Structure formats: structure tokens, C-alpha cells
A and B are shown apart, each in its own frame.
Chain A
């Protein structure tokens, strides 16, 4: 064995260097050129998956695969008084507003949505945290609602706006929101769900109406919806979690 002490020190230093490497990326939460470069991978993933997945449907499962209740996440009991008043009225006064870059703005009641041709699908919900849960969802295809509203030629994205306050700060409460491009909005499995596992959608899972975007992760599927806004371009990072560092495209 070589007795050269510098050599030995070098050998001992290497693993120590590796172990302290975990702090290299600390403090990269905000906007920075390095962060933007790394986030570029998300655009590459989106472009690749658009090309590979095209219009393919997410896997659908059988009733036998529903082995447990649907695990709720995020806000599970909105404390907002307007929400609670609507819930108390049995959603009689609740409306879904469809506005923005559309020919015909809409204001739809739950009964009107339920009168449209329904779609039922048993799908797997994948949370960004890593867990999955299978449930049956019933609702109306978002494409049908958009067809009634008739998006204008400049329409590219849509915002979905929720009634639940997910964060309370000094500047007031922040209500959950999300956004999709028209490709995912018009996908046949993208539905506005009002039913789950054969029952009306429970409050914990987003009553009276939530979004299902089956080829993306759970945080895209906003609950407690009250408005859809069609826009030519996103005015922010596209959602509550996106503003907190999560990728806008959540197909992976």
C-alpha cells in the first residue's frame, strides 16, 4: 500500500465531498437562471409525451379494482362561508361560470351539467407524492361544455377556479386554481365530475364539481370548481402549486 499521506487524505476526502453534495442545490426554490434551465426539462418532457401519447386514453380499470375509498388530498373541508352556504342549499344556487375567450359565456347549474350526456370511468389517481388510488368518476366531458361555449380562435388555455381557500396570508386567502391547455381539456377522459364510486361527489373529494385530467397528476385536478376561464395565454405560472415550484405539465 502506498504510504503517501496526501494520497490517503485525497481518498478520504472524496466520499466526504460526495456526502456534502446534497446541499449543492439548496436554496434553488425561487426564480434563478439555474432553476429555469432545470425546469426546461419539463418542456422537453411535455413535448415528448405529446408526441408519444397523442390522444391515447389513460388505463381504465374494473369495478373489482376499487378496493378502498378515494383518498382525499389538499383541502378536504372548505371553511369558506360562501362555499358552506352553497353546500347547505344542496347546491341549488351553485353555478359553473364559463367565461373568457368564448363566443357564448355560460352559467350552468348542477342539474344542467347532469342533463348532459355523462361519462363514467374507473381510473387511477396518482398523487405527486407518489401514491395511487383507483376510483370511479362520473361527470360531463369538458369538451362538451366547451363546445356549448364555443371557444374563440385565440383560445389556447383554460383556468379552473376553486371555491376553497387553501392558504390564508396577510394579503387575504388564496383559493385553489389550476390550468390546462386545450389538448388536455378536449381529451375524451377529461371530465367535470359530479359523482364518485356511484354516489354524489363527497365534500372531501371536491363537491359539487371537480376536474379529472387522467393523464396528469392529482394536483392538476382542481376540486370545488365554480368557474372556467378560457384564455389565449396564461397570466401566471398556471396554478397554486405551480406558483410554489411544481411543474405546470404534470404528466410525469
Chain B
């Protein structure tokens, strides 16, 4: 069917720098997520404020395990509500574990190695993000990610099109793409770096105002976890959109730069 249908023009859409940074970020974020969950497992609880309440309650999330006659049960506590999450959170593979073995690097408990790998890829992510920000400032690429007034007026129609899975392959990003990519690159990723740094006691000495702004080290840790959850959500939707929009065309564009537009679309960059 695809062979008989009219085809749009093939355009060079993703520059080499975009493609390289895309894959550097994909790799870094994948490793950061799984080593991050390893680190989280060393103390699978989240709090608000400067410290962790052991003799008072400022927790917002706690994963734990409970011995019962039916065996070890995983318990997830969120803001006063308890859920049995055996096999996924709190207890899995017959042992007490925040996140399960398949979700952590290394797969077994090893906080030291998790930290070593996490910080290596944190540097890789930070370095490539800074390079990309600098380059996109210089070549104006950042403007392609900022919605224009016309984009925003088209937002309801674009949402409706996405919901009906009427996906257009255009020369430029649509407004939902712009909002999500700009949100990830300009807000979420810098936010992950800042909240990560605010867990560092040495960085706290260097920038105590940033720690105060975030509301304390344990709040920073909670926000880091929240940012991670949003990035996972982005990843899921991103992959879903790639599959729905035609995975081969999308993969080709992020590997080679070449992208086939919908029939009737102009290859004109404007």
C-alpha cells in the first residue's frame, strides 16, 4: 500500500550535531535512569525539607518490605496511602528491594558502582547539553523549538490531530513537538542537573542560595526523582509517537538526517 500511495519529498531535516547529541542523550539518560534507581534503592524513601525524618514524618514516598505468612510483600507508601506492590516496588525476586533487579545498574545491589557510572554519564549529559545549547544559540537552532504565536493559536487543532492520529510529516516541528522538546531540553534536563548538584554537600557550600531556592537537600532529591519520572513519561510518549508516525522514516531521520514529508508538504524550510 505504501508503494502505491503518493510520497512527499525527502528532505535533510536533522543536522549531524542534532543526531549526535540525540544519541548521546539517549544513551546517557538510559544509563542515568538505571544507575539512579540503584542509588535510590540504597534508601528508597523521599522527603521534603533539609533532612530525612526518622523521628518525625516529612516523607512523601517510602518503599519497604513486610514479612507475612504468604512471604515477603512489597509495600509502597505515598502521602499516607499504602499499596501492595510486591514484585515491582519494595520487594521483588524474593528480596527487599526498592526497584526490581531489571530496572537497576548493576542488576544486583552495588551502590558504589551505581554512583561511579551515574556520575560519569551525568558529566557526558551535562557536557553534550552545554555544547548543544551553545551551538544552537550560535546557529539559531533553539528558535526551531520555541513555539511562535501562530503555533500556539494552532495548538487546539494540533492536539485534535494528534488525538485522531492524523500525524503530518512537515519540514518543521509541530507545536506539541516544540513544547515537549523545549520542555525537556530547556527545563527538565537543566532541572535534573541542578537538583542533582543540590544533593552534593560540596556544591551546597558553593551555592547555598540554590539549595534554599529548592527548599533543602531532601526536597532536591524528591524533585530529582520527580524529574526522572517526567523524563520516563516523555520517553514512553516519544517512542509511542515514533511508532505511530512511521518508525522507519523517523529512525532514518535521526540516524541519517533524511526525512520524508507527507504528500503535498513543501520542502521549503519556511
State the A residues within 8 Å of B (CB): 2, 7, 11, 18-29, 35, 37-42, 44-45, 49, 52-54, 56-59, 61, 65, 67-69, 71, 124, 126-134, 214-217, 241, 244-247, 251-252
Check A35–B116 contact: CB distance below 8 A: yes
Binds A, one of B16-24, B89-97, B195-203: B195-203
Check B110–A133 contact: CB distance below 8 A: no
Nearest B residue to A28, CB-CB: B113
Measured in the bound complex, the distance between the Cα atoms of B189 and A123 in whole Å is 30
Which residues in chain B, 104-129, are within 8 Å of chain A measured between CB atoms? 104-108, 110-113, 115-117, 119-120, 122-123
Q: How far is the CB of B208 from chain A (nearest CB, A)?
A: 5
Q: Counting CB contacts under 8 A, is B103 at the interface?
A: yes
* A25-B113, A28-B113 known; A132 vs B51 contact (CB < 8 Å): yes
Measured in the bound complex, the distance between the Cα atoms of B110 and A29 in whole Å is 8
Residues from chain A with a CB closer than 8 A to the CB of B205 are 53, 56-59, 214-215
Interface residues of B, dominant DSSP? helix
- The count of chain B contact residues (Cβ–Cβ below 8 Å) is 54
Quick one: which of B40, B102, B115 has the most chain A CB within 10 A? B115
Nearest A residue to B40, CB-CB: A130
State the B residues within 8 Å of A (CB): 2, 30-31, 34-35, 39-40, 42-43, 45, 50-56, 101-108, 110-113, 115-117, 119-120, 122-123, 197, 199-208, 211, 217-218, 221, 243, 247-248
Nearest A residue to B101, CB-CB: A22
Check B218–A132 contact: CB distance below 8 A: yes
Measured in the bound complex, the distance between the Cα atoms of B108 and A26 in whole Å is 8
Check A41–B201 contact: CB distance below 8 A: no
Check B200–A128 contact: CB distance below 8 A: no
* A28-B113, A245-B116 known; A216 vs B211 contact (CB < 8 Å): no
Quick one: which of B50, B116, B217 has the most chain A CB within 10 A? B116
Check B112–A245 contact: CB distance below 8 A: yes
Measured in the bound complex, the distance between the Cα atoms of B126 and A115 in whole Å is 48
Measured in the bound complex, the distance between the Cα atoms of B40 and A42 in whole Å is 19
Residues from chain B with a CB closer than 8 A to the CB of A215 are 201-202, 204-205
Q: Which of B55, B104, B247 contacts A69 (CB 8 A)?
A: B55
Residues from chain B with a CB closer than 8 A to the CB of A67 are 51, 53, 55-56
Q: How far is the CB of A90 from chain B (nearest CB, A)?
A: 29
Q: Which of A22, A54, A133, A247 contacts B54 (CB 8 A)?
A: A133
Check A41–B119 contact: CB distance below 8 A: yes
Nearest A residue to B1, CB-CB: A2
Check B119–A252 contact: CB distance below 8 A: yes
Check A68–B123 contact: CB distance below 8 A: no
Given A26-B106, A39-B116, 16 additional A-B pairs, CB 8 A = A2-B2, A11-B247, A25-B106, A26-B107, A49-B202, A49-B203, A49-B206, A52-B203, A58-B205, A59-B211, A68-B53, A69-B54, A124-B201, A130-B43, A217-B201, A245-B116
